[in-house]
């Protein structure tokens, strides 16, 4: 018989290696050691303190949107992370929930139901919609489901935009159901227990409350027969069915639950925005939800919250050039710190980059002044430094475009290069990247946001396919 | 006494390829029957037909008189037939414990809302589930016990993975257990343990067992009866000695009977 | 009757384009079991390449070289740039993920699609570019016999698409590389053990699929006169649907699916309403999925248990 003591130590070696070392790892271990209720309470308390720390309406709004993204990530996690299904039209349920609430609580068709009733109806209706979409899809294997749901998501927006001139049989004049491209304005605020939710702060606490309840419910489901069955289906649907689990029914259940969560989030969103508009539910937002789920490492509740926090906050900050620059340079620095070791090498690279920039700036100022005639686009803490370090042409667009193409070329080349080459070229890469950032990306923040989401997804998947916070998984092909 | 598991006239072809032809197979309660035959003889297909993965083109499969043909696989499993797989199909990223508790799904009835609210019925079922897990994992002694229960399945050794698969099948509380090459890839010591294991499953747990196996020493050690298949057709049936000496069987194997230890 | 024929022609033209695009999806899926969401963007880039060549050669109204040569160069540019882009995407984004969990390359593909769309928006702007084909080729050239009223460009599209598809079928069926592609699609490991250079085969698959997409892009630019950064997304989705309807991984299926979708779209736009044509295509998809989940010409995947 084996010596259990030695055996156990060897068997757990993998576990120890997986646990991140250092203070971050210890913090994570300490967190995991707390009982679940304590973790939830701590989380709620931390988040609830945000409106006390800041006065800014903008920050509160970012907060609510991030909390909503958290809800959506958790809902999508049921479908993708637990049951292992690929729903690329998830955003349609969110939109459906928002629009349905708007129809039940606004002047659009002159119905003003009480909030309890409206929300209940919307959640049930969303679940039914999930059922409707899920039923024909039961027999579909993963990839087919992806197509059908993707199309469904596209159709939703199209249908909504075109339902503003619907002629019902029996009547002559067309009626406007969804407000077409302009959406439905003037949605009633949510009123619960006599309290009217009006300000963003009100909705912040409402969303937090709903999120906390959702987290608790999901945790309880995860640790029940349904959660186990979902996870088994994700591993191996055939084996699961042969071990008594009704796979098709469970997939449908996951789909329906995901849809209901999205519908619920939609009602809060509609009330918060005091209106619903088709552009809120287009594919870019779906990508954001997926980014949150994937970055968080599909499958774990805390991963979803972490992913939503990172994606939601970054995305909001990328709206304004001044805030966006923090994200960009901060992100680059973080990436460098994590990948370039030891410290001396990192310091050398940074110094070289700074030197390169200053030298180039001086050279250009002497030889070709138009190249440095422009001013920094973003007004933030380091604007002054950037002005002296970076070449800022007066007319940056063309140069920026070419630099962008060059940047992609250099990145692709470096993926194949040796470590030494990479380190040597790194200062040039950093300079080039900053050039593109300052001169081109900052000019079009809305495009930049989407560009960066796409780029981040590609990079993260390439480096850590399990997601930033995901657990190690073995996939059987 | 009526047999526990009965296949009559089972016929299955894929396109033009005949896999099982007019198969009659009977397994009495408490028996261990071995299914032997060269590769491609259709043995795993029989398992797939019994468990509902494939549907026979003709014939009937009855468990204690109840017709299984046409039933979805999960219903067949709940009816009392569990199996292991030729190439392991564990829930590889789930823990040992979870692999087993997941398989108790069919034996429990708590709905999702009851799980969320942790109703007394749900809590009672979860206790039962844990007891079943203790029971089936305990059957394997120290091997799947203690700290190992919380380890992911991918961290187990090959032999332990095979044991876990059997434990998982046991957790469905079956009446009939289908073991597909349980000794595949095992060294002689582990193979001897398998032989002992199958006997224990029959004697201690009252299970009826149908085994596909290539290792003739194992077949000899465990079987009450042996059935030989070749190209989807039954060519011999009887005690191990009878079947081993049957000329068609010898011919089908062409010398495979004398397997190295 | 005239109207019917007109819609038929529209449908065939559209269907040819969808078929070319769908082929790219099917070929890549067949080999890698990957849904290449970025394929639509490859098509879009091909269209832009064709557009820039056209402008570079002096523009549709006053080209520096004969119109026939302009067209050839445009198609070449579209095909080559798309082909190279497709190969680059495979090399840098998908290849590292060959053995990763299935969802990883899918997410990468989604991210890549987004990235390319945004890049096009950044570099080329949001304005819809027009190839102004009627300035280059007078719309009166073509066949105008009885109910048939087909412009030369449409004839060109339909005929060249058909030729390309025939060429592809021959290639896959007869050549060594084509056989290699089929082998890798069937069982990658076994093909590798039989001496097939899997990487080269996969690159070839991407290259061929992307070339077809690039050609389709230029065709769309010529026939429908709109080249913009989002054109890849909707066309890609429909072509994808076409590939799925035909049975994904199946080459004749992709062609059939493409034609079906094109005809469905043309007829529903003509006879019902153009607003809901996408809804009708979606309905078609659901219908096929319900009746034949593995597509019209697809074979149901048999799982070895």
* φ, ψ at C99 (rounded to 5°): -110, 15
What's the pLDDT at C216?
Answer: 95
Weakest-pLDDT range from A358-367, C41-50, C167-176: A358-367
What's the pLDDT at A23?
Answer: 60
Residue ranges of C 72-91 with Cβ closer than 8 A to chain A? 88
What's the pLDDT at B255?
Answer: 53
What's the pLDDT at A194?
Answer: 83
Nearest beta carbon to residue B91 from set A220, A224, A236: A236
Q: Considering only CB atoms, which chain C residues are within 8 Å of B44?
A: 305
Nearest beta carbon to residue C244 from set A137, A144, A401: A144
Is A283 part of the contact surface with chain B (CB cutoff 8 Å)? Answer: no
Question: Which residues, 6+ apart, have CB-to-CB distance to C269 below 8 Å?
Answer: C7, C10, C277
Q: Considering only CB atoms, which chain C residues are within 8 Å of A139?
A: 289, 293
Instruction: Please indicate whether, in this complex, the C-beta atoms of B108 and A225 are within 8 angstroms of each other.
Output: yes
Q: Considering only CB atoms, which chain C residues are within 8 Å of A466?
A: 101
Is C268 part of the contact surface with chain A (CB cutoff 8 Å)? Answer: no
Name the band, by pLDDT with cuts 50, 70 and 90, for residue B235: confident
Instruction: Please indicate whether, in this complex, the C-beta atoms of B92 and A243 are within 8 angstroms of each other.
Output: no
pTM for the full predicted model: 0.87
**Is the C-alpha dihedral spanning A323, A325, A329, A335 positive or negative?**
positive
Name the band, by pLDDT with cuts 50, 70 and 90, for residue C304: low
Which has the higher per-residue pLDDT, C296 or A93?
A: A93
What's the pLDDT at C302?
Answer: 58
Count of other CB atoms within 10 angstroms of residue C19? 29
* φ, ψ at C10 (rounded to 5°): -55, -45
**Is the C-alpha dihedral spanning C196, C198, C202, C203 positive or negative?**
negative
Domain boundaries, chain A: 22-286+297-317, 327-463
Is A239 part of the contact surface with chain B (CB cutoff 8 Å)? Answer: yes
Label residue C122 exposed, middle or buried (CB < 10 Å: 0-12, 13-18, 19+).
Answer: buried
Instruction: Please indicate whether, in this complex, the C-beta atoms of A238 and B89 are within 8 angstroms of each other.
Output: yes
Is C305 part of the contact surface with chain B (CB cutoff 8 Å)? Answer: yes
Nearest CA in chain A to B145: A4
Nearest beta carbon to residue A415 from set C35, C92, C123: C92
Contact A281, A448 (CB under 8 A): no
Q: What is the pLDDT of residues C51-73, one digit of tens each?
A: 999 998 888 888 788 888 889 99
Q: Does residue C233 have a pLDDT over 80? A: yes
Domain boundaries, chain B: 1-80+176-261, 91-173
Instruction: Please indicate whether, in this complex, the C-beta atoms of B94 and A8 are within 8 angstroms of each other.
Output: no
Is A27 part of the contact surface with chain B (CB cutoff 8 Å)? Answer: no
DSSP lists the bridge partners of residue C41 as none
Average pLDDT over residues C106-129: 91
Nearest CA in chain C to B51: C305
Nearest beta carbon to residue A236 from set B89, B129, B169: B89
Q: Considering only CB atoms, which chain B residues are within 8 Å of A245?
A: 74, 102, 105-106
Is C25 part of the contact surface with chain A (CB cutoff 8 Å)? Answer: no
Is C169 part of the contact surface with chain A (CB cutoff 8 Å)? Answer: no
Instruction: Please indicate whether, in this complex, the C-beta atoms of C102 and A142 are within 8 angstroms of each other.
Output: yes
Q: Is the peptide bond before A342 cis (omega within 30 degrees of 0)?
A: yes
Q: State which H helix or E strand residue B82 sits in.
A: strand B81-83
What's the pLDDT at C140?
Answer: 72
Distance between start and end Cα atoms, chain B: 38
Average pLDDT over residues B206-234: 90
What's the pLDDT at B62?
Answer: 93
Contact A451, A443 (CB under 8 A): no
Nearest CA in chain C to A144: C244
CATH code of the domain made up of B1-80+176-261: 3.40.50.300
Rg (CA), chain B: 19
Nearest Cα neighbor of C43 from C251, C280, C240 is C240
What's the pLDDT at A2?
Answer: 45
Contact partners for chain C, using 3 or more CB pairs closer than 8 A, are A, B
DSSP lists the bridge partners of residue B210 as B33, B178
Distance from CA of C136 to the nearest CA of A (A): 29
Mutation test of the interface with chain C: which of A465, A471, A475, A477, choosing the one with the most C Cβ atoms within 10 A? A465
Instruction: Please indicate whether, in this complex, the C-beta atoms of B94 and A474 are within 8 angstroms of each other.
Output: no
* B213: helix, strand or coil: coil
**pLDDT in single tens digits along all 477 residues of chain A:** 444 456 666 666 666 665 555 566 677 778 778 888 888 998 999 899 888 888 888 889 999 999 999 999 999 999 988 888 888 899 999 999 999 999 888 887 778 888 889 999 999 999 999 998 888 766 666 677 888 888 888 888 888 888 877 777 777 777 777 778 888 888 888 888 888 888 889 999 999 999 999 999 999 999 999 999 999 998 899 999 999 999 989 999 999 999 999 999 999 999 998 889 998 898 889 989 998 998 888 788 888 998 999 899 888 888 877 778 888 888 888 888 877 778 888 888 888 888 888 888 888 888 887 777 777 777 777 777 787 788 888 778 888 888 899 999 998 898 888 888 888 898 899 988 888 888 888 888 888 888 888 888 888 888 877 777 666 677 665
What's the pLDDT at A29?
Answer: 76
Contact partners for chain A, using 3 or more CB pairs closer than 8 A, are B, C
Average pLDDT over residues C84-91: 94
* A207: helix, strand or coil: helix
Pick the CATH number of C2-291 from 3.30.1450, 1.10.3470, 3.90.1200, 1.10.10: 1.10.3470
Is B48 part of the contact surface with chain C (CB cutoff 8 Å)? Answer: yes
Question: Which residues, 6+ apart, have CB-to-CB distance to B51 below 8 Å?
Answer: A242, B73, B76, B77, B81, B83, B178
- Rounded to an integer, what distance in angstroms lies between the CA atom of residue C232 and that of residue C196? 33
Instruction: Please indicate whether, in this complex, the C-beta atoms of C303 and A412 are within 8 angstroms of each other.
Output: no
Is C145 part of the contact surface with chain A (CB cutoff 8 Å)? Answer: no
Instruction: Please indicate whether, in this complex, the C-beta atoms of A238 and B53 are within 8 angstroms of each other.
Output: yes
Is A219 part of the contact surface with chain B (CB cutoff 8 Å)? Answer: no
What's the pLDDT at A24?
Answer: 61
Is B91 part of the contact surface with chain C (CB cutoff 8 Å)? Answer: no
What's the pLDDT at A340?
Answer: 77
ipTM comes to 0.91
Contact C171, C161 (CB under 8 A): no
Distance from CA of C71 to the nearest CA of A (A): 27
Instruction: Please indicate whether, in this complex, the C-beta atoms of A228 and B98 are within 8 angstroms of each other.
Output: yes
Instruction: Please indicate whether, in this complex, the C-beta atoms of B105 and A473 are within 8 angstroms of each other.
Output: no
Count of other CB atoms within 10 angstroms of residue B79? 18
Is B189 part of the contact surface with chain A (CB cutoff 8 Å)? Answer: no
Distance from CA of B230 to the nearest CA of C (A): 19
Please provide the DSSP assignment of B226-243 as one string.
EEEEETTEEEEEESHHHH
Mutation test of the interface with chain A: which of B74, B96, B175, choosing the one with the most A Cβ atoms within 10 A? B74
Is B234 part of the contact surface with chain A (CB cutoff 8 Å)? Answer: no
């Amino acid at each position: 018989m084996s010596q259990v003591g030695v055996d156990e130590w060897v068997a757990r070696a993998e576990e120890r290696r997986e646990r991140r070392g250092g203070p971050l790892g210890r913090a994570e271990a300490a967190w995991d050691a707390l009982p679940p209720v304590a973790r939830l309470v701590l989380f709620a308390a931390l988040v609830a303190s945000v409106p006390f720390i800041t006065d800014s309406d903008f920050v509160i709004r970012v907060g609510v949107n991030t909390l909503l993204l958290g809800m959506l990530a958790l809902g999508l996690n049921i479908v993708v992370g637990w049951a292992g299904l690929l729903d690329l039209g998830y955003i349609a349920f969110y939109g459906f929930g928002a629009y349905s609430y708007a129809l039940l609580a606004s002047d659009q068709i002159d119905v003003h139901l009480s909030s309890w009733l409206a929300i209940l109806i919307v959640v049930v209706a969303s679940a039914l919609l999930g059922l409707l979409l899920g039923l024909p899809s039961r027999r579909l294997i993963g990839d087919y489901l992806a197509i059908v749901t993707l199309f469904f998501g596209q159709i939703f927006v199209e249908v909504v935009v075109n339902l503003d001139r619907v002629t019902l049989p029996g009547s002559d004049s067309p009626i406007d159901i969804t407000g077409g491209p302009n959406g439905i304005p003037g949605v009633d605020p949510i009123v619960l227990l006599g309290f009217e939710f009006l300000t963003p702060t009100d909705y912040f606490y409402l969303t937090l409350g709903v999120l906390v309840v959702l987290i608790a419910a999901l945790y309880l489901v995860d640790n029940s027969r349904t959660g186990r069955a979902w996870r088994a289906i994700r591993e191996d649907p055939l084996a699961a069915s042969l071990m008594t689990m009704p796979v098709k029914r469970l997939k449908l259940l996951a789909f329906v639950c995901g849809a209901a969560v999205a519908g619920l989030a939609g009602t809060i969103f509609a009330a918060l925005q005091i209106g619903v508009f088709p552009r809120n539910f287009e594919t870019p937002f779906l990508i954001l939800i997926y980014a949150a789920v994937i970055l968080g490492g599909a499958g774990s509740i805390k991963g979803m919250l972490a992913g939503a926090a990172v994606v939601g906050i970054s995305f909001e900050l990328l709206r304004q050039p001044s805030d966006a620059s923090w994200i960009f340079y901060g992100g680059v620095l973080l990436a460098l710190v994590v990948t370039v070791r030891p410290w001396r090498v990192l310091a050398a690279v940074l110094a070289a980059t700074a030197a390169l920039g200053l030298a180039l700036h001086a050279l250009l100022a002497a030889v070709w002044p138009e190249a440095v005639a422009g001013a920094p686009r973003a007004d933030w803490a380091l604007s002054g430094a950037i002005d002296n370090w970076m070449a800022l042409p007066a007319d940056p667009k063309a140069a920026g475009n070419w630099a962008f193409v060059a940047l992609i070329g250099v990145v692709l080349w470096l993926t194949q290069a040796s470590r030494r080459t990479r380190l040597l070229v790194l200062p040039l890469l950093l300079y080039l990247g900053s050039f593109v950032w300052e001169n081109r990306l900052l000019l079009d923040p809305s495009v930049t946001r989407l560009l960066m989401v796409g780029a981040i997804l590609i990079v993260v998947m390439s480096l850590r396919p399990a997601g930033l916070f995901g657990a190690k998984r073995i996939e059987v092909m | 006494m009526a047999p526990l598991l009965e296949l009559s006239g089972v016929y299955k072809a894929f396109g033009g390829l005949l896999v099982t032809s007019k198969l009659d197979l009977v397994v009495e309660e408490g028996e261990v029957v071995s299914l032997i035959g060269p590769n491609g003889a259709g043995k795993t297909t029989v398992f797939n037909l019994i468990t509902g993965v494939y549907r026979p083109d003709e014939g009937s499969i009855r468990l204690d008189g109840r017709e299984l043909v046409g039933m979805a696989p999960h219903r067949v499993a709940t009816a009392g037939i569990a199996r292991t797989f030729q190439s392991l199909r564990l829930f590889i990223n789930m823990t040992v414990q979870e692999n087993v508790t997941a398989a108790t799904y069919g034996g429990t009835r708590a709905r999702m809302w009851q799980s969320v609210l942790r109703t007394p019925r749900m809590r009672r079922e979860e206790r039962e589930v844990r007891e079943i897990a203790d029971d089936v994992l305990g059957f394997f002694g120290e091997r799947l016990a203690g700290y190992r229960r919380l380890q992911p399945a991918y961290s187990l050794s090959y032999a332990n993975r095979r044991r876990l698969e059997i434990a998982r099948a046991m957790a469905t509380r079956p009446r009939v257990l289908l073991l597909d090459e349980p000794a595949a890839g095992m060294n002689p010591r582990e193979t001897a343990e398998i032989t002992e294991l199958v006997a224990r499953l029959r004697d201690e747990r009252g299970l009826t067992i149908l085994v596909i196996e290539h290792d003739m020493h194992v077949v000899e050690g465990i079987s009450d009866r042996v059935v030989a298949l070749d190209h989807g057709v039954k060519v011999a049936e009887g005690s191990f000695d009878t079947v081993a000496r049957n000329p068609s069987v010898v011919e089908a194997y062409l010398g495979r009977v004398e397997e190295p230890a | 009757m005239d109207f019917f024929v007109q819609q038929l022609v529209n449908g065939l033209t559209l269907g040819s384009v969808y078929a070319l695009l769908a082929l790219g999806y099917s070929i890549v899926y067949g080999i890698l079991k990957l849904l290449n969401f970025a394929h639509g963007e490859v098509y879009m880039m091909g269209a832009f390449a064709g557009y820039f060549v056209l402008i570079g050669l002096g523009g549709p109204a006053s080209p520096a070289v004969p119109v026939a040569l302009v067209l050839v160069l445009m198609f070449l540019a579209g095909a080559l740039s798309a082909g190279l882009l497709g190969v680059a995407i495979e090399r840098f984004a998908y290849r590292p993920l060959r053995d990763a969990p299935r969802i990883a390359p899918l997410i990468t593909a989604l991210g890549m699609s987004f990235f390319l769309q945004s890049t096009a928006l950044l570099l080329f702007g949001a304005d819809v570019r027009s190839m102004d084909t009627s300035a280059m080729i007078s719309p009166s050239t073509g066949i105008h016999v009885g109910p048939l009223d087909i412009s030369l460009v449409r004839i060109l599209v339909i005929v060249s698409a058909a030729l390309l598809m025939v060429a592809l079928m021959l290639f896959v069926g007869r050549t060594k590389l084509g056989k290699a592609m089929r082998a890798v699609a069937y069982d990658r490991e076994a093909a590798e053990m039989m001496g097939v250079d899997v990487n080269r085969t996969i690159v070839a698959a991407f290259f061929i699929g992307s070339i077809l997409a690039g050609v389709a892009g230029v065709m769309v630019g010529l026939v429908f006169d709109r080249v913009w950064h989002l054109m890849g997304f909707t066309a890609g989705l429909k072509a994808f649907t076409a590939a799925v309807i035909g049975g994904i991984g199946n080459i004749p299926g992709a062609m059939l699916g493409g034609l079906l979708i094109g005809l469905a779209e043309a007829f529903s736009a003509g006879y019902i309403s153009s607003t809901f044509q996408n809804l009708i295509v979606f309905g078609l998809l659901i219908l096929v999925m319900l009746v034949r989940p593995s597509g019209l010409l697809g074979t149901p995947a048999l799982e070895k248990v």
